[in-house]
Chains A and B, each alone.
Chain A
């Protein structure tokens, strides 16, 4: 079965009631057959029927041995970092989510874990940074906010992490994270950490996440189509100095993006406005359809300034090294009519009055 069919049916198999939509289990505990005699579920941190269903769907869509659902993307990331030990070294992409940067540099460092940042789209640089004590290479595909495209053919991932708050949930209304493991052994190790640390998703959120996944293929297809049209339009706009979007021929790794993603490149577009930090701020404040907010991947379009918002938790020096400059504006394209969105950006760019 194809992706969209699986997204709708795998994990939603009928239960004894015949419900087309499986029930929401809020129960924190489950009655057991006898002392020391465990049923399929015992306590909701260890396993919950609603969570189990969405984990099954995600594993199938990822082609993973198993998936785990968390209360946020950061809880998922933290669980994966639980595989590290004191003295471990991590090689990470320099344009990663600010919260991941913060976790590595301000929390994991307390356990004597060190990090080397490299440009994630440069496989040679990643290889060069690896040391004997390197336990993990962490890259974002696609990088954020610079839209870098790592060479995944060479990297070959063991774990896929999602902030399911974004495209998976898709409606800006549930925080969620997911880890998908390539092997049953890795899945077992991650499950052990998840159960021990407890960052699990709740039953209601698991339901909303599952509901969102059913339209994910439609949403991402449409968002990719609209984002490409908007990126192309931005590229020809006089107030825009540069557009970063993997679907544009001008993107440094466009060919790699085509190999990895085919003809859909997601709904995130970053661009550089002509002017200064204030110009970028004015653009972000002037839109009417795009909401001024961090996050991404939802039905409603959002706009933000990485330097002061999503990537404010970077050290200024690391931000400069990565190339996250003050004039960058990042948009997350939603499901509105692309003509309405272009009209909104056109007006905002006009009001902001770039150089």
Chain B
């Protein structure tokens, strides 16, 4: 599946989560990596600086260019993703900004599927535009529309899979085929799927982007972002990161590495809870519609089955005959999930996208993005499945 000859790529996902990218024998024989807080690294002599500059030794120089804790996690994530290389950033947004600032220049164009994390859209539409980059948005999953939007200036095709919050799954085979046919690079935001469930690189995607704040960190206690891809394509991206300075800190990277140790277990649980809760919601009379790729009723269920191993823990649903306040009342009745944005941690979170992310938008625009007043998004954690179902049941039936 991967072109890399790294023997770690042969190991099971659980083994990779625990060991990949780490030195077998660590300094002072410690079983876990130490946290190296240094902001700068010293050289033995002038000659060793000259050697470093000439031969490009793999060593640290200054904290903005990287640190040992971050490098370990980069290696681990590259193995998990089946990619040659991975670059970590201080947040998911810092990662996409770092990549696009490197790959796009004035006059270039980029095409997005329209369902996406609203801040990535905002960055392209409001900010890249100031540097002369043009952003097109086409209907999510409409491959014909995407292909017709391509012209000689198009540099990148971008999508999430699954998308947030509609959980539309992209047919990566068709998506990659368009890119290859036109010689245009492709980027997938795979945050909601994670490499446990989806391997975009294996489908031929050029860049995989994650908000590692979510399932990778997994404990709602750190921010991080990552871009995975080939060494050659990522080399200039890494150089630019060294200038922009959006690297992640050694303490944070230690927590991310620690979080990844239980990645396989957590994802198995998120998948299990997600599927069971989506089925429960679909069968509940107060629920009008459930968006979850593991449900047969979901429009992209076929693509989900084709590309994914499981369907993660994000579920969106519409409450039957409810206005935004009645919908909010259900959220307020929940006892286990706490109310807040984000997803992917061990604790469940719940929110109303119209309130949390789109409150300032006029209703026409919200509806155009498919954000309805009666929509609830639940980021299912790893709590006991029955506890979560019972809690949702009492909340739905109390209002």
Q: Which residues of A contact B387 (CB under 8 A)?
A: 1-2, 5
Q: Is B225 an interface residue when CB atoms closer than 8 A count as contact?
A: no
| Contacting pair A335 B338 (CB below 8 A) | no
Q: Is B68 an interface residue when CB atoms closer than 8 A count as contact?
A: no
Q: Which residues of A contact B346 (CB under 8 A)?
A: 8, 214-215
Q: Is B13 an interface residue when CB atoms closer than 8 A count as contact?
A: yes
Report the Cα distance A237→B37, complex, angstroms: 47
| Contacting pair B31 A172 (CB below 8 A) | yes
| Contacting pair B265 A20 (CB below 8 A) | no
| Contacting pair B12 A20 (CB below 8 A) | no
Minimum CB–CB distance for B154 against chain A, Å: 40
Q: Which residues of B contact A18 (CB under 8 A)?
A: 340
Q: Which residues of B contact A302 (CB under 8 A)?
A: 31
| Contacting pair A171 B258 (CB below 8 A) | yes
Q: Which residues of B contact A218 (CB under 8 A)?
A: 262, 265-266, 269, 382
| Contacting pair A289 B383 (CB below 8 A) | no
| Contacting pair A340 B12 (CB below 8 A) | yes
Minimum CB–CB distance for A24 against chain B, Å: 10
| Contacting pair A3 B14 (CB below 8 A) | no
Minimum CB–CB distance for A6 against chain B, Å: 9
- Interface-centre pick from B15, B266, B347, B386 (highest chain A CB count, 10 A): B15
| Contacting pair A215 B382 (CB below 8 A) | yes
* Residue total for B at the interface (Cβ-Cβ under 8 A): 35
Minimum CB–CB distance for A174 against chain B, Å: 10
| Contacting pair B32 A171 (CB below 8 A) | yes
| Contacting pair A5 B265 (CB below 8 A) | no
Report the Cα distance A180→B388, complex, angstroms: 28
| Contacting pair A300 B384 (CB below 8 A) | no
Report the Cα distance A20→B264, complex, angstroms: 22
- Which one of B18, B220, B386 lies within 8 Å of A335 (CB-CB)? B18
Minimum CB–CB distance for A289 against chain B, Å: 7
Minimum CB–CB distance for B102 against chain A, Å: 33
Minimum CB–CB distance for B355 against chain A, Å: 15
Q: Is A9 an interface residue when CB atoms closer than 8 A count as contact?
A: yes
| Contacting pair A334 B347 (CB below 8 A) | no
- Which one of A3, A21, A219 lies within 8 Å of B384 (CB-CB)? A3
Q: Is A337 an interface residue when CB atoms closer than 8 A count as contact?
A: yes
Q: Is B17 an interface residue when CB atoms closer than 8 A count as contact?
A: yes
Q: Is A293 an interface residue when CB atoms closer than 8 A count as contact?
A: yes
| Contacting pair B347 A20 (CB below 8 A) | yes
Q: How many A-B residue pairs have CB under 8 A?
A: 103
Minimum CB–CB distance for B340 against chain A, Å: 6
Q: Which residues of A contact B269 (CB under 8 A)?
A: 218
Q: Is A12 an interface residue when CB atoms closer than 8 A count as contact?
A: yes
Among residues of A, the one whose C-beta sits closest to the C-beta of B258 is A171
Minimum CB–CB distance for B321 against chain A, Å: 31
Q: Which residues of A contact B310 (CB under 8 A)?
A: none
Question: With contacts A215-B382, A218-B269 known, is A299 near B261, CB below 8 A?
Answer: yes
Report the Cα distance A298→B19, complex, angstroms: 13
Q: Which residues of B contact A300 (CB under 8 A)?
A: 18-19, 31, 261
Q: Is A63 an interface residue when CB atoms closer than 8 A count as contact?
A: no
Q: Is B11 an interface residue when CB atoms closer than 8 A count as contact?
A: yes
Q: Which residues of B contact A12 (CB under 8 A)?
A: 347
Report the Cα distance A90→B15, complex, angstroms: 43
Task: List CB contacts (< 8 Å) of B50-84 with chain A.
Answer: none
Minimum CB–CB distance for A344 against chain B, Å: 10
Report the Cα distance A211→B11, complex, angstroms: 27
Task: List CB contacts (< 8 Å) of B324-341 with chain A.
Answer: 336, 338, 340
In the complex, the 9 A-B pairs of residues with the closest C-beta atoms, listed nearest first: A337-B12, A2-B384, A336-B15, A5-B383, A299-B261, A5-B387, A21-B221, A340-B15, A218-B265
B residues whose Cβ falls under 8 Å from a Cβ of A: 11-15, 17-19, 24, 31-32, 219-221, 258, 261-262, 264-266, 269, 336, 338, 340, 345-347, 349, 381-384, 386-388
A-B contact pairs, 23 of them (CB 8 A): A1-B384, A3-B384, A9-B383, A20-B220, A20-B340, A20-B345, A20-B349, A21-B220, A21-B221, A172-B32, A214-B347, A218-B382, A222-B14, A289-B19, A293-B31, A299-B261, A300-B261, A335-B17, A336-B12, A337-B13, A337-B14, A337-B15, A340-B15
Q: A214-B347, A222-B14, A335-B18 are in contact. List 5 more A-B contacts (CB 8 A).
A: A1-B384, A5-B384, A291-B31, A299-B261, A335-B262
